[in-house]
Chain A
């Protein structure tokens, strides 16, 4: 459609011919006719351009030109395929990693929640800095106080988790984690049902019918989205409940649950302890801001009401614990644990991108030096600086767009991996998807890289006389270019160093954690969850069930011992609620002084023998320690040493602090055992008091010591338990060693991900250093030739190149180290804490990089020493 320039010129020519012929016909001399016609026409080029401009806008022209350049660029890149592929893959890694991490960050930190008006949905909690906890839940009396007096929050929703044994929906009885909520919970959360209805105020109170709502995940994965589920009656713990609806997909906060039930389903929630005891904190609290109220206003009012509540009940709030209240939006609450790790990941991804870019910059710089003569010729023929830059930009655009495209292809699987990884820190990560915004990010990164890369190479000097001379002599490297190459290589080393030190730190921590000594026998002990149908439902029946189960399992072949308790080390995170204050013989707290706190663990006889914890003094519990015999206790060595530093702990007495709401019966200490820390994988001296299971608590965990492979016992143990009670759930059998491994999964993943980043960085950096040296050696062929000709030893040349490589690495490490110190300083300013890496990770990373740099310079060094003297000298 659009006439091209040739057609426009044709038209002008025909006009001139017509004009000339007319003049000749009028009798003019042909020569002067031609002259006059041309004169009358004026500038041919100007006429052509103004016709051209009718059809082509300036932008269109520029774009067409760029396309033309891109076509040329593509062709020239096809000739240097190896380089192109290296560049594209390097960029793809950098862009892919960034896109994946960005997707996860966006879904965790930036995307809105499905909850209605999520900005006004609050998460409220108590803090007790005095006893080192930032996250204290609420008791029902506390919630009652807040509910009746706080006006800036229009409604409160409460939520506590309970493990129920669920029978129904076919299959074996299973333990489900259930949320127990009040009637306003769903309204406060602003969630809707996808099926049936949700729990509302008519389901509140002890006289309502027991009902349950299924979470979307449970409904879709376990029940295959069965639409007929509403109205079904299931057994939930001790009683029946009717399924009334299915919740819409939403962030499972505060806990991943399968079922959410009303209060009447849980005997524990109806009990006096739950209802009356101010210390019995197991409930999470949510609130909705009243119309017109602000978060700051609500915070101030909550603090005021809370302070007066604490003041009114001094017996329940020790001054030492300094119990306070905090509120934030649910969105912030959900995102906060993941924020640090995600920002770290983002930083790591950004560093990888920088490394990738500087490596690509090096490759491109090297290439552009090789074609300096080509550019010089073009400049001499009148190409403007702009035109030369356009050529370079076209080529780097081709490379970067290809890299970005490949990177975005990579992003999809990477997002899946990263999402599963980040889900350990924030449930929202599971929502992460690759979508339009990631494509935008990829495009922006690609263009950014392309523009940067186009401006990296130096344009040929516009002093034409000197510019043309290299055309004859192959590559000539200028000191400036060489310096730039080395700067980029050092940048890569510096960034790799940072990543490697970070990865080394995490690996060292992980290593320390997974090999830390514990007093437990890690390999031979199998821990099994044998939960009672619902907390508070068991009593004496549970005790006799366990008694009989232990007797039968103990008699099985291959079983060396069996014991019960309430806590599987490390795995049962709720165990910290078994932490109480206590008093002891010969200790009289001064005014305002607090009784000490420690862990309380109800265990069966032979618990210590089964788990391999040595008894240091006194005796173990026996079957004779029952509710109707003398109250006794066994303490850990830390307790014995700290409380009774002068003498024997055995036969002294201790008792639970009456303010805990438990019986303050004096208990005689009958034994002292080694310290074990069942909360932290890295053991710290722990004050623990063990009580006989018949006198305190309710067993829910079995420990079986195996003679051979513990897992071989799992089927027979399960069968034995089912013989006793067909509906008994038996779950999560694992050796203590595997429990620890499982608990360390997030750390392992952290270490793995950062090592992967470090590995990629190292790989790219090695390619980078090798490339720079190969290039610098290639450019100095003549120099090496002369040096060899005048009697220089090849060995010396090799050493020179190796020295060059090591120098780049050393510079990089130094800069990286300084950067690291700066980063630590920034992190400390921003987050308050920053761990300095140990000597080992730093030294390790430095050694690794120097070794890699030497390795990378070996090949170029060998090439330098094998330069053919004659060939080299002839080349000029």
Chain B
């Protein structure tokens, strides 16, 4: 998978993948492939998650107790491993979301200063 410089897709910011996974799983369990597709779709094809980083990230989150995994059957009737948000994963999602909005505001202030920032 090589990408040329005119490829419109964006690289993920460091550390945001975990948050995106948690967010994606907020509405219910999903398998790895589904999570990857969901992120791509919701970002209107701008974000592309490499499987090489998606799966280790999923396992990392399971190891930390934020996700739980179990084998199940997909809508197309195929065997797949489904990931589900745990209560502590939900709490983590809220923390990361807060942190993210603070970061966005802070960076936004610097990049597009508004009169409010001077107060």
Contacts of A50 in B (CB 8 A): 52, 55-56
Does B78 have its Cβ within 8 Å of any Cβ on chain A?
A: yes
Q: Are A21 and B51 in contact (CB under 8 A)?
A: no
Q: Nearest A residue to B50 by beta-carbon distance?
A: A42
B contact residues around A18 at 8 Å (CB): 31, 33-34, 74, 76, 78, 80
- A43 and B32 CA atoms in complex are apart in Å by 17
Q: CB within 8 A of B52: which of A19, A39, A43, A55?
A: A43
From B34, B50, B55, B76, contact of A51 by CB (8 A): B55
Contacts of A19 in B (CB 8 A): 33
Contact string against A for B residues 51-94, beta-carbon threshold 8 Å, 1 for contact and 0 otherwise: 11001100110010000000000101011110000000000000
**A18–B74 alpha-carbon span in the complex (Å):** 9
A46 to B51, CA, bound (A): 11
B1 contacts A by Cβ under 8 Å: yes
* Interface presence of A14 (CB below 8 A): yes
- Shortest C-beta distance, B38 to chain A (Å), equals 13
Question: A47 and B63 in contact (CB under 8 A), knowing A11-B81, A19-B33?
Answer: no
Least CB distance from A813 to B in Å reads 64
- Give the distance in Å from the alpha carbon of A47 to the alpha carbon of B50 in the complex: 10
A53 close to chain B: CB less than 8 A: yes
Main secondary structure of the interface of B (DSSP, over half): helix
Instruction: Tell me the minimal C-beta distance from B40 to chain A in angstroms.
Output: 12
| Contact between B78 and A11, CB atoms less than 8 A apart | no
Decide if A53 touches B56 in the complex (CB within 8 Å).
yes
State which residues 1-27 of A face B: CB under 8 Å: 3, 10-12, 14-15, 17-19, 21-22
Cβ–Cβ contact A11 & B55, under 8 A:
yes
- Given A39-B1, A42-B1, answer yes or no on A15-B52 (Cβ-Cβ < 8 Å): no
CB distance from B69 to the nearest CB of A (A): 9
Q: How far, in Å, is A12 (CB) from chain B's closest CB?
A: 7
Per-residue contact bits, chain A 800-828, to B (CB 8 Å; 1 contact, 0 not):
00000000000000000000000000000
In the bound assembly, the distance between CA atoms of A47 and B51 in angstroms comes to 8
Closest to A18 in B: B33
Q: Are A54 and B78 in contact (CB under 8 A)?
A: no
Q: Could you say which residues of chain B place their CB within 8 Å of the CB of A42?
A: 1, 50-52
Does any Cβ of B come within 8 Å of A40's Cβ? yes
Which chain A residues border B33 with CB–CB below 8 Å?
A: 14-15, 18-19, 22
Give Cα distance in the complex from A41 to B78, angstroms: 19
A21, A39, A55: the one within 8 Å of B63 (CB): A55
Give min CB distance, B36 to chain A, whole Å. 9
B78-119 contacts to A (CB < 8 Å): 78-81
The residue of chain A having its C-beta at the shortest distance from the C-beta of B48 within the complex is A40
Across-interface contacts of B31 in A (CB, < 8 A) = 14-15, 18
Contact size class for A? Answer: 20 to 34
Complex Cα distance, B50 from A3, in Å, reads 21
CB-based nearest A residue for B76:
A21
Could you tell me if A14 and B50 are in contact, using CB atoms closer than 8 angstroms? no
Asked if residues A12 and B74 are in contact (CB atoms below 8 Å), the reply is no
Chain A residues positioned under 8 Å from B51 (CB to CB) = 15, 40-42, 47
The B-contacting residues of A in range 32-67, CB under 8 angstroms, are 39-43, 46-47, 50-51, 53-55
Within 8 A of B (CB), among A175-229: none
List the A side residues contacting B56 at CB < 8 Å.
47, 50-51, 53-54
The B-contacting residues of A in range 296-316, CB under 8 angstroms, are: none
Whole-angstrom distance between the Cβ of A13 and the nearest chain B Cβ? 9
In the complex, chain A residues whose CB is within 8 Å of the CB of B37? 22
Measured CA separation A43–B74 after assembly (Å): 24
Interface string of A161-173 (1 = CB under 8 A from B): 0000000000000
Kindly report which residue of chain B lies nearest to residue A40, judged by CB atoms. Answer: B1
B60 contacts A54, C-beta separation under 8 Å:
yes
Q: By the criterion CB–CB under 8 Å, are B80 and A14 in contact?
A: yes
Q: Which residue of B lies closest to A14 (CB)?
A: B80
Distance between B5 CB and nearest chain A CB, rounded to angstroms: 20
- Report chain B residues within 8 Å CB of A41: 51
Residues in chain A near residue B80, CB distance under 8 A: 14-15, 18
A50 to B52, alpha carbons, bound, how many Å?
8
**Contact residues in A for B78 (Cβ distance below 8 Å):** 14, 17-18, 21
Q: CB-nearest residue of chain A relative to B74?
A: A18
Given A42-B1, A42-B51, A42-B52, also A14-B79 (CB < 8 A): yes
Q: How far is the CA of A50 from the CA of B59 in the complex (A)?
A: 10
Interface-centre pick from B31, B51, B80 (highest chain A CB count, 10 A): B51
Q: B66: shortest Cβ distance to chain A, in Å?
A: 13
B108 to chain A, nearest CB (A): 34
Q: Specify which chain A residues have a CB less than 8 angstroms from the CB of B79 in the assembled complex.
A: 14
- How far is it, in angstroms, between the C-alpha of A3 and the C-alpha of B56 when the chains are bound? 12
A636 to chain B, nearest CB (A): 93
Complex Cα distance, B76 from A54, in Å, reads: 30
Q: How far is the CB of A165 from chain B (nearest CB, A)?
A: 81
- Give the chain B neighbours of A21 by CB distance below 8 A: 76, 78
Q: With the chains together, A41 CA to B74 CA distance in Å?
A: 20
Report the Cα distance A40→B33, complex, angstroms.
12
Query: Is the beta-carbon distance between B50 and A15 smaller than 8 angstroms?
Result: no
Q: Which positions 656-694 of chain A face chain B at CB distance < 8 Å? A: none
Report A-chain residues with C-beta under 8 Å of the C-beta of B60: 54
- Interfacial chain A residues near B50, Cβ < 8 Å: 42
CA distance A273 to B60 in the complex (A): 90
C-alpha spacing A42/B54, complex, angstroms? 12
In the complex the two chains form, is A55's CB within 8 Å of B59's CB?
yes
Contact code string A839-860 (vs B, CB < 8 Å = 1, else 0): 0000000000000000000000
Task: State how many angstroms separate the Cβ of B93 from the closest Cβ of chain A.
Answer: 20
Q: How far is B71's CA from A10's CA once the two chains are assembled, in angstroms?
A: 10
* Residues in A neighbouring B1, C-beta threshold 8 A: 39-40, 42
**Interface of B toward A, CB cutoff 8 Å:** 1, 31-34, 37, 50-52, 55-56, 59-60, 63, 74, 76, 78-81
Query: 19 more A-B contacts (CB under 8 A) besides A11-B32, A15-B31?
Result: A3-B59, A11-B55, A11-B81, A14-B80, A15-B32, A15-B55, A17-B78, A18-B33, A18-B76, A18-B78, A42-B1, A42-B50, A42-B51, A46-B52, A47-B55, A50-B55, A53-B56, A54-B59, A54-B63
- Which 3 residue pairs across A and B have the least CB separation, nearest first? A18-B33, A54-B59, A50-B56
* Residues in A lying within 8 Å of B, measured CB to CB: 3, 10-12, 14-15, 17-19, 21-22, 39-43, 46-47, 50-51, 53-55
Q: List 30 A-B contacts (CB under 8 A).
A: A10-B81, A11-B32, A11-B55, A12-B55, A14-B33, A14-B78, A14-B80, A14-B81, A15-B31, A15-B33, A15-B51, A18-B34, A18-B78, A19-B33, A21-B76, A22-B37, A39-B1, A40-B1, A41-B51, A42-B1, A42-B50, A42-B51, A42-B52, A47-B51, A47-B56, A50-B55, A51-B59, A53-B56, A54-B63, A55-B59
